[in-house]
Structure 1
Amino acid sequence: MNIEMERVRTTRLREKRGFLGLRFEEGLWRSAAGGIWVASTSTVALSALGAPTGFGTGFDLAAAIVLNVLALALSGIVVAWLLSGVRREVPALAIGAALYTIAALSVIFVFAEIQTGFAIGLAALLTGIGGGGGWVAGVLARRGPWRTKLAAVLSALLAAGFIGLLTVDSRLFGAEENQGVALADAGEAIEALAEADPSQAGDYAYRAFTYGSGEDKHRPEFGESVGLISEPADASGYTSDWPWPRKRFWGFDESELPLNGRVWMPEGDGPWPLVLMVHGNHLMEDYSDEGYGYLGELLASRGFLAISVDENYLNYSVWRGIPDEDMKLRAWILLKHIGQLERFANDPSTPFYEAVDFDRVALLGHSRGGQAVAMAADREAWFAADNALPDRESYRIRAVIAIAPTDTTVDGKTANLKDVAYMTLQGSEDADVNNFYGERQYQRTSFAPGSDAFKTSLYIAGANHGQFNTTWGARDESMPAGLFLKKPDLSGEQQRKIAKVYVSAFLEDALHGNAGYRPLFRDYRAGAGFLPDTSYWSQYEDAGFVPVARYENAGSSEERPEAGITASAAGADAWEREEALDRQKHGKGNSGVVLSWSEEGASYALQADSSFRMSVTNAEDGSLPMLSFSMANLSWLLKENQGAEAAAKDLNIRVEAEDAAGRTANVSLSGIFPIQATPRTSFTWLGWPEAGLGRGQYAQEAESVFQTYLLPLERFGAAGHDVDWNHLRRIVFYFGGAAGQVMLDDIGFAR
């Protein structure tokens, strides 16, 4: 009997043998294999969107799907062949598909900078979801009792709910993240803005055209349809890393880099101030230079000659890498553009003839471009010996704008700006450059007495990285990692509105000399009539600032932050000089005094040996100066061990000024400027797995963010007798709230 049964079983197995005489499973196992195929191919297809070949999206998707299906089929065949000697039925298709999918997706996720352990776990999870989904679909498609089908559906729902509880960020369904005080609730600005909305078009008509090599293989506007031919730039002295796939794609190597630009030029008599704009690193095949057209059009209508510079050939490609020394190349190319424009401006046959005011030049950069513009402005640090660049005296860079910039050392150096107006913008939900590196350059920007330049920064709740460029979009990471990122709170239109307001107003001041927009940089609330309603944090300083305490040059004794100044604290658990930290706990190149307290009544005082140095009598209108200081609210750091979450919201500060005779006056800070909680961000819709994405940049939800507070001395209420403002000797900060922690910096007097 046993022999007969074995013969029947063997006969049946032979009858089930399929391709190449191998046998494959049927029924629910085949349905599960089909689900894995769908999950695998869908994920690979989505990943192909983040790895363009340059042949078009249709080709990329089709190639990814076909190759993945072939690989899945081959994996099933290989497993079936390896297990062909096993007498029992084995689900070769399901096993092969699962092994291949886990391996393939793990490699893709690791390549997308997802940490290895999380990448493998995620690949296994997606494989399980695909297999489980296929199994449920198979149960529903077969004939059978309804109880079985209901049980399958309920099992799938329970599994999905369990996965969601383990991984999905609970904040998606709970309270909103703490993003400070909305602009609509932030109160009145210390100084009203008399100028109109700077984001509105000006009075100038303008024309748009391009200049370039005339030989671009991919974009006719720089190729056969180019308006003006430029000379190539030989960068072989700065890089030799130009592999043949990159040369094959672009049609040139490092010895003949094209100088391509999109131009928006006002109509009428010039010369016009020049604004060069440059993108950052993005997928090379997804061109970035056209993404600042909204700024180019606005600036041209307001009397600026705006140019968006093409540096796409220096960007990253999944298939072709990125050139070495790319940061230096980005800055060098900008300087070569200035040289090319000088040649155009001297040629009567070009539209640039006598149309460019090279004494009024501004550079605007985004991401890596934001670092490149600062490097170009500080050219001596990297290009002092390069005689092929335009003469240093032939142009003057008066202003630099950095949008979500990087800030890395290049050849062991960083840019230092002197008497150059500087502005930096950053979004709290930037998932690419997710630290406010622009603050570092802000600290490295200085002014000589009498300079008309200033520096300012703006941190924007709900803004991401890519929406400042119209072509980059709402996802700051390419696929597949981009699937896990949350949509930013601000829309692209809102984010670009902020950029238009600040870029236009900044250049009106720096290049057109219109100081009427200065109140916007001193106090963002001055723009409440036209800025989107979100939370903002800003810093401001100009050459008129007279410091009392900087903390950068303090010695080992914390009691003397500056020469002639003594510091003391009372009622504080701790107070010491520290360096501000970013999300990864790295120093931001800026130090301040950190004070923490657990009971109400803490204070921090600065006392001068004689009296504070400040100018009071030289003001044209006779008004008193303002007490100025920057502060980062760090109370959120206490929440884990002291339950001080509420303190971040309930923090109140009173500032007291005392003259040499002991007469005092004080003011409540919140009565002039709202004290905001530090913006905290969860970048993805994941919960604890968020830390496994990227290079750990999503592990921390906040960083030190400073706000400059300007307190007019006229707003201080005197107690008893009038204070002699010319002889102030002591400033005291009184901290209210049950518990809290702050960092104070750049305390002094401003106009």
Structure 2
Amino acid sequence: MNAIKRALLLVGKTVVGFIERNWKASIRGLFVYILVLVFIMGFFFYTGAGKWFDFSFTLFTAFLSILIGTFISWIALKALAKLPNLLVACILGAVAGIITLGAYLGPFFTMMGYLLLILGAWTGLSIKLVRSARKRRGLTFAALGCVTVLLHALFLFSIFSEGKEGAWSLEVAGKAMNPSFANPAATGENTINSFTYGSGEDQKREEYRNVTYQTNTVNMSSFIVHPKGFNKWYREWFWGFDLNKAPLNGRVWMPDESSDGPYPLVLMVHGNHNMADFSDGGYAYLGELLASKGYIAVSIDQNFLNSGKSGHIGWDNAGRAWMFLKHLDQWGKWNNDKQHPLYGKVDMENIGLIGHSRGGEAVSLAALMNDLDRLPNNAKVTLNFDFSIKALIGLSPGDGRFKLGDQPVELKDINYLTIQGANDTDHTNYYGIRQYERVSFSDDFDGFKSSIYIYGANHGQFNSDWEVDQPSPYWWFMNRKEIMEPDLQREMTKLYVAAFLDATLKGREEYRQIFSSKETASSWIPIDPVRLKYEDNSFTPLATYEEDVDVTTMTKEAGELHGYNLQVWKEVNLTLRNNEPQGNEAVKLGWRGTSGRYTVKLPDEVSKTLGPQTVLSFDAVQLHPSRYDFYGIRVPEGFKEKSIPITVMVKPKGTIKLDTRIGTTVEIEPTYSTKLYKFDWWNKRFGNNYEHMLQTYEVPLAFLQENMADINYQDINEIIFEFNQTGSGLIYLDNIGLKERIRTSE
């Protein structure tokens, strides 16, 4: 020990001696280079007052900053020099440990480390002072004890308190608007058979060693960037294989042998998570429901593509998408093999893909890859897939992590559903809405798309193996009070997923009503937290606000848009929480008083197509209360965090707009605040505490016949949004158009 101490003293003495002999030379060089930098900055700094001012200003600013910084540092070093060396060394050592752990485990560990450093030092000091107090011992103990207990209580409260409750209601109405069909999330009549398939050589999981059907491995080299160095070594050690021999592993839920086939095939894939904490079992709640309803549901194992403590895999989402298609290829082989027990069991003409998180982006990539002959990012690679994929579902999906041909994924003539939780602390922005906007339909394609935004839902609860968005300690500081119970979130997910698949893969047209009118599901789930968008191929757009910058022109030529007595009237890009664009434009309308209105004048060619089966459709939502304040418009009295009523009128020629028979009331939903974490200063890292998510409203024109039996629908030439029921308001309005009533199955 003495030898080590002598060696350390010798090294310290040598270093100090070297610095004492040479520090002045370093200062001279330092100031020369700083002076050169200041003159260069002065040359590029331009105020218009003359170069003499530019140089003088930069020189003075630099001199003053250096002088103040040197003085403060000198004072601080003087103070530190008088402190015990061991104290300074211990503090610096603790800070180094905190920084190291924070770099590995995340910024919350860093913040907690500094807080505990201060708290621990204070506690130790308090104990010492109490023990050493000679006089007024009781008072000293009481004062220091109270402060110490208070500091610990505040720290523990920040961890164990659940936070603040959200403004939305989670009550179930108990009566559906249209109870003519059963709850799609109700368990079906089929008995379930579950099993696994895969390589049969998995080192980590028994379910993929003892498989019912064995599969060959696949070479992923063209679709991922292979890890290198320690990351490569660790992954191969952990999994026992590299990605040149990736397994096709899957968990299956399907009707048992006593049921008839074939059944629509639905593949599900998880998102990114710690690869050692396996994710593919977390969708059993969906797999079991779908199997009972007559589907083959498969949860694909892609844990080996997930991130680990050793690092990530490049192009991982391309790999996830390609693996979707390779699993479909495997199912096609089984289905066509007369010797295989699964022969003829699969309806390969009706395929759906479900993806969560990065898997949610992968479903879109897989659908696009399915239509391509070659990989755009490496055209030497052939794809050769052509499956009948009819339905895509993205649960809190990503967007743009991987781009085929460096272009956003544009999808055409495919049914698309995306679901996002407003209290998602992983994907804090609703990227699925951007993919929703990039789905289009041909006139002859009988399909639809829907976006569902759920206040109180979060990222992890879509997967029962995950539960939380972020691991502790992040979870300790999340605003857990706003997050709905996991079972409720999954029940809502089951309803929308099952209804979507029934409508798109089984032809149950009536289930489209669940997506076009959220009230349809009000007897099964709470609908106040839901903001739902819907569009089908029958939709004829009148005004989408995408065509130009003229606020009076419509998407439909020869039509006109007019505003009257409006405080705010402008067309804008809608944004996500972090102010990135949603990929959609809308009109912003604000009013004071009760005489504001917004008019859509229809061209004659549109009027001629109207009839009692026509439905007026539009998207709208109230702006967040902070935007009311920005525009100097008050939230209507009695309507804080509540829907506000507006009047929608359909005016035939020769009818005065005051005729009450031509109007109906529509309640425009509020935009709620969502506080992701308990601390506002941390929430500001993510942007706003809200996202404006539009809600689709439908007004069947048949309401006119109730009071105007002799109405001639072809005379309708104006649609008027009348803001006459509240003294103020501020809304977004978008996608005004006409559509047909939803058909019901025979």
Length-normalised TM-score, structure 2: 0.79
Alpha-carbon distance between aligned partners in 2 of 1:87 and 1:626, rounded to the nearest angstrom: 80
Structure 1 counterpart of 2:690, which letter? A
Shift of 1:520: 1.4
Q: Which residue of 2 aligns with 1:588?
A: 582
Matches within 5 A, 1:216-227: 216-223=202-209, 225-227=210-212
Shift of 1:700: 1.3
Q: Which residue of 2 aligns with 1:61?
A: none
SS in 2 for 1:702: coil
Alpha-carbon distance between aligned partners in 2 of 1:455 and 1:188, rounded to the nearest angstrom: 26
Structure 1 counterpart of 2:553, which letter? E
Q: Note if 1:266 corresponds to 2:266.
A: no
Q: Note if 1:329 corresponds to 2:319.
A: yes
**8 A contact 1:663–1:720 mirrored in 2:** no
Identify if the C-alpha distance between structure 1 residues 571 and 231 changes in structure 2 by more than 3 Å, giving closer, same or farther: same
User: Residues 74-96 of structure 1, C-alpha deviation per residue, up to 9 Å, x if partnerless?
Assistant: xxxxxxxxxxxx9999483x654
**8 A contact 2:194–2:252 mirrored in 1:** yes
Identify if the C-alpha distance between structure 1 residues 120 and 360 changes in structure 2 by more than 3 Å, giving closer, same or farther: closer
Q: Which residue of 2 aligns with 1:651?
A: 644
Shift of 1:558: 4.2
Which is worse superposed, 295-304 or 540-549?
540-549
Q: Which residue of 2 aligns with 1:27?
A: none
Q: Which residue of 1 aligns with 2:721?
A: 733
Q: Note if 1:706 corresponds to 2:703.
A: no
Q: Which residue of 1 aligns with 2:187?
A: 201
User: Residues 482-524 of structure 1, C-alpha deviation per residue, up to 9 Å, x if partnerless?
Assistant: 3321225311111111111111111111111122322211222
Q: Which residue of 2 aligns with 1:428?
A: 422
Q: Which residue of 2 aligns with 1:13?
A: none
Alpha-carbon distance between aligned partners in 1 of 2:328 and 2:709, rounded to the nearest angstrom: 60
Shift of 1:130: 2.3
Q: Which one of the candidate residues 236, 242, 251 is aligned to 2:221? A: 236
**8 A contact 1:209–1:262 mirrored in 2:** yes
Structure 2 counterpart of 1:226, which letter? V
Matches within 5 A, 1:505-584: 505-532=499-526, 534-556=528-550, 558-584=552-578
Identify if the C-alpha distance between structure 1 residues 182 and 494 changes in structure 2 by more than 3 Å, giving closer, same or farther: closer
Identify if the C-alpha distance between structure 1 residues 177 and 600 changes in structure 2 by more than 3 Å, giving closer, same or farther: farther
Alpha-carbon distance between aligned partners in 2 of 1:484 and 1:292, rounded to the nearest angstrom: 27
Shift of 1:340: 1.3
Shift of 1:184: 4.3
SS in 2 for 1:677: coil
Q: Which residue of 2 aligns with 1:413?
A: 407
Identify if the C-alpha distance between structure 1 residues 352 and 20 changes in structure 2 by more than 3 Å, giving closer, same or farther: farther
Q: Which one of the candidate residues 182, 198, 213 is aligned to 2:199? A: 213
**8 A contact 1:112–1:481 mirrored in 2:** no
Structure 2 counterpart of 1:195, which letter? F
Structure 1 counterpart of 2:333, which letter? R
User: Residues 689-720 of structure 1, C-alpha deviation per residue, up to 9 Å, x if partnerless?
Assistant: 433xxxx32x3100111100111223358888
Matches within 5 A, 1:45-444: 90=84, 92=86, 95-111=88-104, 114=107, 123-136=113-126, 145-157=137-149, 159=151, 172=163, 176-179=165-168, 184=172, 191-223=177-209, 225-242=210-227, 243-267=232-256, 268-319=259-310, 321-379=311-369, 380=371, 383=375, 389=383, 391-392=385-386, 395-408=387-400, 410=403, 411-444=405-438
SS in 1 for 2:604: coil
User: Residues 439-488 of structure 1, C-alpha deviation per residue, up to 9 Å, x if partnerless?
Assistant: 11222222222433111121111111100100111x31233333321225
**8 A contact 1:638–1:644 mirrored in 2:** no
**8 A contact 1:178–1:678 mirrored in 2:** no
Identify if the C-alpha distance between structure 1 residues 371 and 630 changes in structure 2 by more than 3 Å, giving closer, same or farther: same
Identify if the C-alpha distance between structure 1 residues 183 and 150 changes in structure 2 by more than 3 Å, giving closer, same or farther: closer
Which is worse superposed, 504-513 or 596-605?
596-605
Structure 1 counterpart of 2:671, which letter? T
Identify if the C-alpha distance between structure 1 residues 101 and 558 changes in structure 2 by more than 3 Å, giving closer, same or farther: farther
Identify if the C-alpha distance between structure 1 residues 466 and 370 changes in structure 2 by more than 3 Å, giving closer, same or farther: same
Alpha-carbon distance between aligned partners in 2 of 1:169 and 1:741, rounded to the nearest angstrom: 38
SS in 2 for 1:519: helix
Q: Which residue of 1 aligns with 2:623?
A: 634
Identify if the C-alpha distance between structure 1 residues 318 and 170 changes in structure 2 by more than 3 Å, giving closer, same or farther: closer
Alpha-carbon distance between aligned partners in 2 of 1:667 and 1:455, rounded to the nearest angstrom: 33
Alpha-carbon distance between aligned partners in 2 of 1:644 and 1:170, rounded to the nearest angstrom: 33
Q: Which residue of 2 aligns with 1:688?
A: 681
Gaps of 5+ in 1: 1-16, 23-85, 618-622
SS in 2 for 1:292: helix
Length-normalised TM-score, structure 1: 0.79
**8 A contact 1:235–1:257 mirrored in 2:** yes
SS in 1 for 2:461: helix
Identify if the C-alpha distance between structure 1 residues 579 and 158 changes in structure 2 by more than 3 Å, giving closer, same or farther: same
Shift of 1:735: 2.1
SS in 2 for 1:483: helix
Structure 1 counterpart of 2:395, which letter? I
Structure 2 counterpart of 1:733, which letter? F
Identify if the C-alpha distance between structure 1 residues 469 and 158 changes in structure 2 by more than 3 Å, giving closer, same or farther: closer
Alpha-carbon distance between aligned partners in 2 of 1:367 and 1:238, rounded to the nearest angstrom: 19
SS in 2 for 1:106: helix
Alpha-carbon distance between aligned partners in 2 of 1:645 and 1:557, rounded to the nearest angstrom: 25
Shift of 1:100: 2.9
Q: Which residue of 1 aligns with 2:39?
A: none
Shift of 1:600: 3.9
Shift of 1:106: 3.4
Structure 2 counterpart of 1:301, which letter? S
Structure 1 counterpart of 2:644, which letter? L
Identify if the C-alpha distance between structure 1 residues 721 and 333 changes in structure 2 by more than 3 Å, giving closer, same or farther: closer
Between 1 and 2, higher relative CO (CA 8 Å, sep ≥ 6) is seen in: 1
Identify if the C-alpha distance between structure 1 residues 209 and 653 changes in structure 2 by more than 3 Å, giving closer, same or farther: same
Counting matched residue pairs gives 646
Q: Which residue of 1 aligns with 2:475?
A: 482
Shift of 1:629: 0.2
User: Residues 651-707 of structure 1, C-alpha deviation per residue, up to 9 Å, x if partnerless?
Assistant: 3311111123345565899x765322102111111132433xxxx32x310011110
Alpha-carbon distance between aligned partners in 1 of 2:503 and 2:719, rounded to the nearest angstrom: 33
SS in 1 for 2:287: helix
SS in 2 for 1:612: helix
**8 A contact 1:183–1:535 mirrored in 2:** no
State, as a whole percentage, how many aligned pairs show the same letter.
32
Gaps of 5+ in 2: 8-79, 742-746
Q: Which residue of 2 aligns with 1:56?
A: none
Shift of 1:297: 0.8
**8 A contact 2:557–2:603 mirrored in 1:** no
**8 A contact 1:547–1:748 mirrored in 2:** yes
Q: Note if 1:463 corresponds to 2:453.
A: no
Identify if the C-alpha distance between structure 1 residues 315 and 171 changes in structure 2 by more than 3 Å, giving closer, same or farther: closer
**8 A contact 1:274–1:304 mirrored in 2:** yes
**8 A contact 2:661–2:704 mirrored in 1:** yes
SS in 1 for 2:667: coil
**8 A contact 2:190–2:291 mirrored in 1:** yes
Matches within 5 A, 1:2-81: none
**8 A contact 1:553–1:562 mirrored in 2:** no
**8 A contact 1:260–1:309 mirrored in 2:** yes
Shift of 1:593: 1.2
**8 A contact 1:238–1:329 mirrored in 2:** yes
Identify if the C-alpha distance between structure 1 residues 313 and 645 changes in structure 2 by more than 3 Å, giving closer, same or farther: farther
Q: Which residue of 1 aligns with 2:19?
A: none
SS in 1 for 2:735: strand
Q: CA RMSD for the aligned pairs?
A: 3.4
